[in-house]
A and B are shown apart, each in its own frame.
Chain A
Amino acid sequence: MADYSLLIILFAPFLGAIALIFVPRKEEFLTRMVAVVSSGICLLASAYIFFAYDTEKSGFQFTQKFAWSEELGISFYVGVDGIGGPLVFASAILLFAGIFVSWHIKDRTKEFYIFLLILAAATIGVFMSLDLFFLYFFYEMSVLPMYVLLGIWGSHTKGYLSMTDPEGIKLRDSVGYILNFGSNSKEYAAMKLTLFLSAGAVMALMGILLIYHFSGMHTFDIVELRKNANFSGPLATIIWLLVFFGFASIAPIWPLHSWSPVGHAAAPAATSMLHAGVLMKLGHFSIIRVGYEILPDTTRELIPIAAILCVFSIVYGGLVSYFAKDTKYVIGYSSSSHMGYIFLGMAALDYISLTGAVIYMFAHALATGMLFAMAGWVYDQTHTRDIPSLGGLMEKMPFLSGAFIVACMASIGMPGTVNFIAEIMIIVGSWQKYPFQVIVAILGIVLTMAYLFRMMRGLFYGQLDPEYAHAQDAKAFVDRLPLLIMIFFSISLGIFPGHFYNVVRSSVEPLLDRINQVAPLITQNSTGLLP
């Protein structure tokens, strides 16, 4: 039976966005319902592919292929393996939850949901593309909605609106306020994010074009290229570096991370969720899909770069998080820091650690999604993200503070959540090859605990400022639903990870066999930073 589930997953949000164009502006409830229905269909279909994925078979499943342009060697080719499938599922969960999280958006609701659906659909498109052209197509497509989402519905850092320059002119009205470095307007964040990611994208595009030309096969088909293309020497190194740093800028690895916390902080809650949850994983995913699949030998030689840089990611992100005063900055930098764990898991080229890295992508999506959703709720109620001025919200928000504790536990990697499984696998798997990094990672977990508990204390314990006495808990069903969904998946997959593990493992094994084939057992006598 031809299986159209991937097309349903991909096109349900797109069609929802198109349908929304025709919904009258006044019909806000109808607007939301269209978004809920289209993302609901997307979620059900992605749950189906996640659970119906055949772990006995390797290779891509649920594939669909349509000719698109013979002239350029492009076909619309979709399919998922054990790495893409869970990420498609995570995107669908976060999209569905994000629709409910943004339930109370009043300003231009219609446009908001249109851009949100396009953003999520494009992200999902990357995870299922088996054609380099379409991988890039959806990748670049996912960047642009971010600009509008941040710019319109985002928020400034506290006090930004009243900031003045030495001459007493309000910064917001000054000429160059888009390029106003050092201040954190949402416009600045949006522009920085878009330009950074576009720059990364064109770098990756250069790599993709080099692959296209020098494979001599006149095709963008990843499956074909993986089978038949052979790259070696300096060319392979150049392509790998372009692909790695191009895609790692969205991941974001340490020196390329600076757009990310700014962007997360300015974005509205649902966008931060999707962004930190799945958009950043586009980077890791694309590195695996393009770098690992097409250039396995070069990957083996050059991946230690990731192992070196991930240390900086973990430490730097963690430390900044600890000292940040803004709720969303804390979560944003913690995401940057946690991305380092994924790079560590990827760099070790070990079955267990890479499987752990993929599970971590999924787990982090849920944990950080919950945190951003709740930071967004607190912001909506109090209109501030400044931790020192908040406090004592526990008595006003009992449900939310309970959920927040669960989210923190998930983020730290408590046993019982899926994050625990992922973290332990990364640590165990990388120990032999990168013991130094593993020690850093473990210290990073302690650091995570420190800053999350600090934020929790700052928000929910202590004295309640009377200014925030009107703050409401998430009482309505629609407000609790997104949190409950994410908690449900985080805990249920944490307790029953068997199927998930098998799904990922079924794809990681053949991938790593190809990479490690030529020189197996190089992990034996390595120490420290260098392999």
Chain B
Amino acid sequence: MTFNLALTGSDLLLLLPEILLTLWLCVILSIDFSMRHVRHETLAYLSIGGLVATILTLVWFDQSGVTGALFKNMFVLDRLAIFFKILILFATALVIFISIDYVKAFRFFKGEYYFLVVMSALGMMFMASASDMVSVFVTLEFSTFGFYVLVAYLRDDLRSSEAGLKFFILGVFAAGLLAYGISLVYGETGTMIFSEMASTPGSYGLAIGFLLIFAALGFKIGAVPFHSWIPDTYQGAPTPVTAFLSIAPKAAAMAILIRMFYVALASYKPMWVLLFVGASIISMTYGNIVAIAQKNIKRLLAYSGIAQIGTVLIGLAAGTKQGSDAIMFYLLTYLFANLGAFAVVIGVSNLIKSDEIEDYNGLNRRSPFLAAAMLLFLLSLAGVPPLAGFIGKLYLFVAAIEQELYTLLIVGLINIVISMYYYLVVVKKMYINEPTDPSPLTVSLPLKTAVYVGIAGTLILGIYPKPFIDWAVSATLMFSNIVAPTTAASPMIGG
């Protein structure tokens, strides 16, 4: 087959957000090495400005209905992609907000920190648009490279280096699995494009290929049994990078999973539903039970993240349009609650230089603001009304009960109670225990902004989620007929 790369102006328009961000990256990098006197904060705010401009472009695309596909369907821009791109960019902007104070402590700080963060975001934007096996591989690696550096950013910290090495080795291993899986799938189907695979007859090669691809993506989202890097990497990495890792790559990988399984494998739904039911049950139960024993807040959030991803997989196990809507809504709620929780962790560790849960004793007396914010975020993660996480969980449960997945539902409900325990233990430390050092803690402005955004998101999504639910629903209109296997191809404008 031949590629025709004669791009027209309207084709390039589809790439506009990515082009904009790429140019902006160059600007940030050149400012960093050409103007030595520029302060770190300026670079951070410049990056945020670029991200916000890109988000606005995407919102404009969403409103005016700009959709289409480029490069023989390798790159699609539909409302699903736009949703995930906005989510990823928003998370990135918040991560930069919570980084500003944290990176001041770096001994070898250079402005490339922000460059790497935004570059990873760019890679994940491409992931959200990947609709072809080759672009899945390329974009996945593109986004991960930035993280390899970021995780090991604390050069003189042993834990950080260890985390970086673990993440790198397992990441490369996952990439190998992915490449092998793609080669098997290509061998069976003779095509790289999702929508063309839909009509292929089933075979063992195809099944093994997709299992390997799922393993690679499972590594990305941190689902059991591909989770083993998560706790150490989360603990060792600089906390803002941990926060970034905990939401953005997971969202991007979920975009690929949704697209791959809903478009390419729609006709094999009964089989992969079992796969996701299994992965979901193991992830939720394992994550929640192991989280109980954690003494470090970053490890606690790591295991709770594994459990949360298990919850998200309920949506894929449902395998319906409603399931994908619920996933997207849940990721939004998770974005605010999880990033908010990490923002509080950063706020505390900036001041007391510790991530041990024991040191959260009496946080309510030292900083009522941080304690109250953490309370809201943890309860949202636990799924307590009127916070966002409750609506997200309920939405997923509704999607599951409509498919009559009783086992999954019962396990999910029991896990709510289990998770309540360890979240409440943190609440207990913050509110009930007395502090050993009662000196008040003060929070810097950028961090406060991020925490306020988190609180606002957690409350708004919990009390008035309608616009966001409607947004998710309209982003997946192409999956309306997912139940009928033959008409799974998405209505995209040709490329």
Which residues on A are within 8 Å of B, measured CB to CB?
A: 25, 67-69, 71-72, 108, 111, 133, 136-138, 140-141, 144, 147-148, 151-152, 178, 186-187, 190-191, 194-195, 198-199, 202-203, 205-206, 209-210, 212-213
Contact = CB atoms under 8 A, between A and B. Distances in A.
Contact of B466 (A69, A152, A212): A69
B385 A141 contact: yes
Contact of B379 (A111, A136, A144): A144
A69 B431 contact: no
Which of B368, B398, B401, B425 counts the most chain A CB atoms within 10 A? B398
B404 A213 contact: yes
7 contacts: A69-B465, A138-B385, A147-B427, A148-B431, A151-B427, A152-B432, A202-B414
B364 interface: yes
Given A198-B417, A213-B402, A72 B469 contact: yes
Interface residues of B, number: 35
Interface string B340-382: 0000000000000000000000001000100000010001000
B60 to A, nearest CB: 25
B437 interface: no
Given A152-B431, A178-B428, A141 B384 contact: yes
Q: Which 6 A-B pairs have the closest CB atoms?
A: A202-B413, A151-B432, A137-B385, A213-B401, A209-B401, A141-B385
Contacts of B275: none
A68 B466 contact: yes
Contacts of A133: 394
A209 B398 contact: yes
Contacts, number: 81
Interface string B265-300: 000000000000000000000000000000000000
Interface string B450-480: 0000000000000001100110010000000
Contacts of B325: 71
B334 interface: no
Contacts of A67: 466
Contacts of B172: none
A151 B432 CA distance: 6
Contacts of A147: 424, 427
Nearest to B403: A213
Contacts of B428: 151, 178, 187, 190-191
B300 to A, nearest CB: 15
B413 A205 contact: yes
Contacts of A152: 431-432
Contacts of A194: 420, 424
A202 B416 contact: yes
A209 B416 CA distance: 15
B470 A71 contact: yes
Nearest to A186: B432
B427 A148 contact: yes
B409 interface: yes
A202 B394 CA distance: 11
Interface string B416-451: 110011001101100110000000000000000000
A191 B402 CA distance: 33
Contacts of B414: 202
A126 to B, nearest CB: 11
Given A140-B384, A213-B404, 10 more contacts: A71-B325, A133-B394, A148-B375, A148-B427, A186-B432, A202-B413, A205-B413, A206-B409, A209-B397, A213-B402
B473 A71 contact: yes
A147 B404 CA distance: 34
B425 A178 contact: yes
Contact of B420 (A198, A210, A212): A198
B176 interface: no
Contacts of A71: 325, 469-470, 473
Contacts of A206: 409-410, 413
A148 B470 CA distance: 35
